[in-house]
Chains A and B, each alone.
Chain A
Amino acid sequence: MQDFIEFFSFTDANIRYVTLGSVLLAASSAVVGCFTLLRKRTLVGDAVAHAVLPGVCLAFILSGTKNPFILLIGAFVTGWLSLVVIDYITSRSRIKEDTAIGLVLSVFFGIGILLLTAIQQTGNAAQSGLDKFLFGSAASLIGEDLIAFGVVAVLLLVAVVLFFKELTLLCFDQAYARTIGFPVRGLELLLTTLTVFAVVVGIQAVGVVLMAAMLITPAAAARFWTENLKVMLVLAALIGAFSGIAGAFVSYTAPSMPTGPWIVLIVSMIAILSFALAPGRGWIARILRQRRNKTRILEENLLKLLYQLGELRQDYDSARSLEELLERRNIPRKEAIRGLQKLKRQGYLQKEDKRWLLTPEGEKRGRRVVRLHRLWELYLTQYLNLASDHVHEDAETIEHIITPELEQRLIEELNYPDLDPHSARIP
């Protein structure tokens, strides 16, 4: 608790730097990541992240200093080159994109490792700290680095705001963007550049290997909560920023802990929870929805059965036994009983010594399902010229889905019909 207060009062200048740094880095890469996610090119970011390493090493070898701007330029050049190479290989040979990504990723990184270890062997004292690019160290961010990366991060965010409309169009409808005269090629170039910048900046926080997570994971998590791109960008930035702060906090309380992996671990947990729990798109929400649909279909089928039995015997007012129902339609016994009991609780059915009777509401609902079924069969035979013995299966499904508005349209379209294709009366 002591640590907590100390950390979040931000009195220590060092803590301010680290927190601000992590937040900026994580948020800017999360925002750019949203666009790469929507273009389904997330793993390209992984390749760029690995490809940055040889650039950093080359910049160091050529300049002999660890000036962050020079290293950034080196990183930028090879990161950009890796994307060009991936595009070139995929468009000019029969190598598929995933192979090209894997190839570029491992070869560029291999070159980087070779250079890095070669530099380390030279015994040049200035080289120490280059290897922090491998795993990142947001916790050791100091004034000068922070200014360099802060500037780039802010530029990234400004670029996204300025070109928001263009980038959106690029993600969702490239063909349309081209027809209305947008420079699509230029925009792709812009997005590529933004991605490379985001990676170059982000590796300071989490390192080469885990950089992919900073691009992919916040965006993937945010995608589950909203259908609106603006909201998604803000959410992804918030998720990124939160994990940035949390990671910085962890390595503040336990200095031996690496910041990068903690940031990634936290952001991944948020993402996995989002996949499971998000309303609408989430896994649990979908399971519940499926189950709800299944029970509704079962209930409607039971009501329909009772109604059809009444129709058959010209007698809607006497109760039917379970056996009578199961004879006409193959429903697992247990499910049928559960469904009937639920319908009784809802007031659609009455029970008279182990036999079931439709209440007026139940009869109304059962009649509607039968009506929809027969209307649809008629519609299919009249408008799609399907044979009358081919339409039952389809109607079995659609009878649970048609809305009252659609029902009205169908009735008008079919000119208030009396009989369905099997000459049964439409109630």
Chain B
Amino acid sequence: MNAFWIILTGSLVATCCSLLGCFLILRRMAMVGDAISHAVLPGIVIAFMFTGSRDTIPMLIGAGLLGVLTTFLIEFFHRFARVQADAAIGVTFTWLFAIGIILISVFAGQVDLDQDCVLYGEIAYVPLDLIITEGGLSMGPRTVWMLAVVTLLIGLFIVLGYKELFLTTFDPAFAAAIGISTSLWYYLLMGAVSLTTVASFESVGAILVVAFLVAPPATAYLLTDDFKTMLGISVLLGTIASFAGYYLAVWLDGSIAGAIATVTGIEFLLAFLFSPTHGKLRRQKRVQTVGH
């Protein structure tokens, strides 16, 4: 049963992250996703301090705000202080992450979080925190319920805003011309990324969030030219990685999040080499046939 809950948690995180990641990598904003996933840390710690508990709602709000603040700061440094784009990202997220780590050390006694957990999460503990009804009936782990809700929200967001997200990603000029606010959808997308990051943070840590945001979409991008197919494939790849990663971790007796990230990397490597349309080997063969 524990294995089931852990894999389910991984798959839910994979679903939200890969869906949003497809938009991010096509907008060339993969590193902004990386930045947000690190920078929400102080928000989580501050929410802990205020409420003194691991209540989900304040944590989601605190870290969600920090996530949006991160995008604002990056934009601000880049546009108003004219810091070059990559440096603006680097300065912002390391600064906020450092603040988060320092806050954890300052309130070490009161905050039930440690530095390692921040990086690679505690997905193995997910099945321990159960929701028990008054009748003593176990409803399954708290994290799974929260992630299910978040996944639903993200799914709704993408279904309802599909046209707008699609247009602002592929043709911002056209989107603006027909009256879609590019900056509104930019911030909505970033808000969604922050929400996902926060919801996944506790269970899988910053690194797996980045891995899921980038690796499955990048792999899917090598396998298809159709955007809807790309969304589907990346969710599938993320889920497979959760399965395989769990058993890899059990076999090596190591971190589950680390193992899942490793598997997403292997998936990418396979697609990079063998993809029927964009794979390395396939392309070489094609070049050779043309040559003869």
Find chain A residues with CB under 8 A from B34 CB.
46, 102, 105-106
**Contact assessment for B261 and A283 in the assembled complex, using a CB-CB cutoff below 8 Å:** no
Indicate whether B280 reaches chain A with its CB closer than 8 angstroms. yes
Q: Which residue in A98, A103, A113, A282 is a CB contact (below 8 Å) of B120?
A: A113
Q: A135-B115, A261-B102 are in contact. Are A99 and B254 (CB under 8 A)?
A: no
User: What is the interface residue range for chain B against chain A?
Assistant: 35 or more
User: How far apart sit A217 and B98, CA to CA, in the bound complex (Å)?
Assistant: 13
**Contact assessment for A121 and B97 in the assembled complex, using a CB-CB cutoff below 8 Å:** no
Indicate whether A40 reaches chain B with its CB closer than 8 angstroms. yes
**Contact assessment for B30 and A111 in the assembled complex, using a CB-CB cutoff below 8 Å:** no
**Contact assessment for B261 and A106 in the assembled complex, using a CB-CB cutoff below 8 Å:** yes
Most buried by B among A42, A114, A117: A114
Knowing that A109-B258, A258-B115, A261-B99 are A-B contacts, what are 19 other residue pairs whose CB atoms are under 8 Å apart, sorted by A's residue number?
A: A42-B86, A46-B90, A92-B280, A93-B222, A93-B278, A102-B214, A105-B34, A106-B34, A110-B257, A110-B259, A110-B260, A110-B262, A113-B258, A115-B254, A210-B98, A213-B94, A220-B91, A258-B102, A268-B91
Q: Which residue in A40, A99, A110 is a CB contact (below 8 Å) of B30?
A: A99
**Contact assessment for A106 and B254 in the assembled complex, using a CB-CB cutoff below 8 Å:** no
Interface digits, A93-137 against B, CB 8 Å rule (1 contact, 0 not)? 111101111110111111111111110010000000001001100
**Contact assessment for A261 and B98 in the assembled complex, using a CB-CB cutoff below 8 Å:** yes
User: How far apart sit A408 and B218, CA to CA, in the bound complex (Å)?
Assistant: 60
**Contact assessment for A135 and B210 in the assembled complex, using a CB-CB cutoff below 8 Å:** no
Find chain B residues with CB under 8 A from A94 CB.
221-222, 278
Instruction: Say how far B46's CB is from chain A's closest CB, in angstroms.
Output: 16
**Contact assessment for A275 and B81 in the assembled complex, using a CB-CB cutoff below 8 Å:** yes
Q: A95-B221, A96-B25, A109-B261 are in contact. Are A265 and B102 (CB under 8 A)?
A: yes
Q: Which 5 interchain pairs have the tightest Cβ spacing?
A: A110-B261, A107-B265, A113-B258, A213-B94, A114-B258
User: How far apart sit A275 and B91, CA to CA, in the bound complex (Å)?
Assistant: 11
Q: A209-B119, A212-B94 are in contact. Are A40 and B262 (CB under 8 A)?
A: no
Find chain A residues with CB under 8 A from B108 CB.
256
**Contact assessment for A213 and B119 in the assembled complex, using a CB-CB cutoff below 8 Å:** no
Closest to B259 in A: A114
Q: A102-B213, A117-B258 are in contact. Are A256 and B89 (CB under 8 A)?
A: no
Instruction: Say how far B168's CB is from chain A's closest CB, in angstroms.
Output: 18
Indicate whether A41 reaches chain B with its CB closer than 8 angstroms. yes
**Contact assessment for B115 and A265 in the assembled complex, using a CB-CB cutoff below 8 Å:** no
Q: A118-B252, A134-B116, A216-B87 are in contact. Are A113 and B94 (CB under 8 A)?
A: no
Closest to A104 in B: B265
Residues of B participating in the A interface, judged by any CB pair closer than 8 Å: 25, 28-31, 33-34, 38, 77, 80-84, 86-87, 89-91, 94-95, 97-99, 101-102, 105-106, 108, 115-116, 119-120, 206-208, 210-211, 213-215, 217-218, 221-222, 248-249, 252-255, 257-262, 264-265, 268, 272, 278, 280
Indicate whether A37 reaches chain B with its CB closer than 8 angstroms. yes
Closest to B264 in A: A107
User: How far apart sit A134 and B117, CA to CA, in the bound complex (Å)?
Assistant: 12
Closest to A268 in B: B95
Give me 12 A-to-B residue pairs in the complex whose CB atoms sit less than 8 angstroms apart, sorted by A's number. Answer: A99-B30, A101-B31, A103-B30, A106-B264, A108-B265, A110-B262, A116-B254, A131-B116, A135-B115, A261-B101, A272-B95, A281-B82
**Contact assessment for B255 and A114 in the assembled complex, using a CB-CB cutoff below 8 Å:** yes
Find chain B residues with CB under 8 A from A275 CB.
77, 81, 83
Closest to B279 in A: A93
**Contact assessment for A41 and B86 in the assembled complex, using a CB-CB cutoff below 8 Å:** yes
Interface digits, A275-314 against B, CB 8 Å rule (1 contact, 0 not)? 1100001110010000000000000000000000000000
Q: A93-B280, A114-B252, A275-B77 are in contact. Are A107 and B91 (CB under 8 A)?
A: no
**Contact assessment for B94 and A268 in the assembled complex, using a CB-CB cutoff below 8 Å:** yes
Find chain A residues with CB under 8 A from B120 CB.
113, 117
**Contact assessment for A113 and B28 in the assembled complex, using a CB-CB cutoff below 8 Å:** no
Find chain B residues with CB under 8 A from A100 CB.
218
**Contact assessment for A103 and B218 in the assembled complex, using a CB-CB cutoff below 8 Å:** yes
Instruction: Say how far B271's CB is from chain A's closest CB, in angstroms.
Output: 9
**Contact assessment for A216 and B221 in the assembled complex, using a CB-CB cutoff below 8 Å:** no
Instruction: Say how far A115's CB is from chain B's closest CB, in angstroms.
Output: 7
User: How far apart sit A261 and B106, CA to CA, in the bound complex (Å)?
Assistant: 12
User: How far apart sit A272 and B76, CA to CA, in the bound complex (Å)?
Assistant: 11
**Contact assessment for A102 and B98 in the assembled complex, using a CB-CB cutoff below 8 Å:** no
**Contact assessment for B268 and A103 in the assembled complex, using a CB-CB cutoff below 8 Å:** yes
Find chain A residues with CB under 8 A from B255 CB.
113-114, 116-117
Closest to A287 in B: B80
Closest to B255 in A: A117
User: How far apart sit A135 and B104, CA to CA, in the bound complex (Å)?
Assistant: 13
**Contact assessment for B208 and A265 in the assembled complex, using a CB-CB cutoff below 8 Å:** no
Find chain B residues with CB under 8 A from A93 CB.
222, 272, 278, 280
**Contact assessment for A109 and B30 in the assembled complex, using a CB-CB cutoff below 8 Å:** no
Instruction: Say how far A255's CB is from chain B's closest CB, in angstroms.
Output: 11
Find chain A residues with CB under 8 A from B83 CB.
220, 275
Q: Which residue in A37, A89, A262 is a CB contact (below 8 Å) of B102?
A: A262
**Contact assessment for A111 and B31 in the assembled complex, using a CB-CB cutoff below 8 Å:** no
Find chain B residues with CB under 8 A from A46 CB.
34, 90
Instruction: Say how far A331's CB is from chain B's closest CB, in angstroms.
Output: 27
Q: A95-B221, A102-B34, A107-B215 are in contact. Are A43 and B254 (CB under 8 A)?
A: no
Indicate whether A257 reaches chain B with its CB closer than 8 angstroms. yes
Closest to B89 in A: A43
Find chain B residues with CB under 8 A from A210 CB.
94, 97-98, 101
Q: A41-B86, A94-B278, A110-B211 are in contact. Are A216 and B98 (CB under 8 A)?
A: no
Q: A94-B278, A121-B254 are in contact. Are A258 and B261 (CB under 8 A)?
A: no
Interface digits, A68-108 against B, CB 8 Å rule (1 contact, 0 not)? 00000000000000000000010011111011111101111
**Contact assessment for A283 and B268 in the assembled complex, using a CB-CB cutoff below 8 Å:** no
Indicate whether A271 reaches chain B with its CB closer than 8 angstroms. yes
User: How far apart sit A37 and B120, CA to CA, in the bound complex (Å)?
Assistant: 29
